[in-house]
Amino acid sequence: MSDSYRETAVIVGRFQPFHIGHTQLLEYCFNHYDDTVILLGEDPNGRTKRNPLNIEERKDLLTFLFETISIEPVVENFNSTLKFRQNVQYSFTILDTNEKLVLVTENETTINSLKPLFSRIDTPPRPLCRGKIIRERIQSGEDWKHLIPKEAISILEKHNFTEIVQNKVN
């Protein structure tokens, strides 16, 4: 953080589900930036195996865990980098911030798609936990709850996360 200007960390993610790797990323942002904003990716195809929770369910979870964080939905467009970039840029107009925006991610696809929109890119160490691993563990009947912040388990149960992941085939 600098005294001459404020920086806002911007995290773009799906949070399917929110896990301990996301907690580490947010703690990093809270310690290095003046503000943190989550642009919550929304798949236009609705619920899928890769995206078992809808945007409202994920927003509910993130708001429960982080009352003060700004969360804005952004439609992901997997077929067009330009369209995805435009959707993220539109989210910035909603945020209405004069602060310098820093993209905080280790995801190369996200960096390549969104780099022109940010004053800089920060690539913290990649967390060991991934949403895909959690969804695979659920489908194979393995233990997975230790990979989720314990405060998030009740919200995931409220939204039938386990049942949705076990029953999704696409």
If DSSP codes are grouped into helix, strand and coil, which group holds residue 30?
Answer: helix
Q: Which residues pair with 41 in a beta bridge?
A: 74
What confidence category does residue 45 fall into, taking pLDDT thresholds of 50, 70 and 90?
Answer: confident
pTM over 0.85: no
CATH T-level fold of 7-167: Rossmann fold (3.40.50)
**Cα 132 to Cα 85: distance, rounded to the nearest angstrom:** 24
- Per residue in 154-170, pLDDT tens? 999 999 999 999 986 55
- Per residue in 112-143, pLDDT tens? 888 888 889 999 987 778 899 999 999 999 99
Tokens 């429960």 correspond to what residue? 64
Question: Residue 51 corresponds to which amino acid?
Answer: N
Look at residue 67 in the predicted model and tell me its pLDDT: 77
CB 169 within 8 A of CB 49: yes
Question: Residue 102 corresponds to which amino acid?
Answer: V
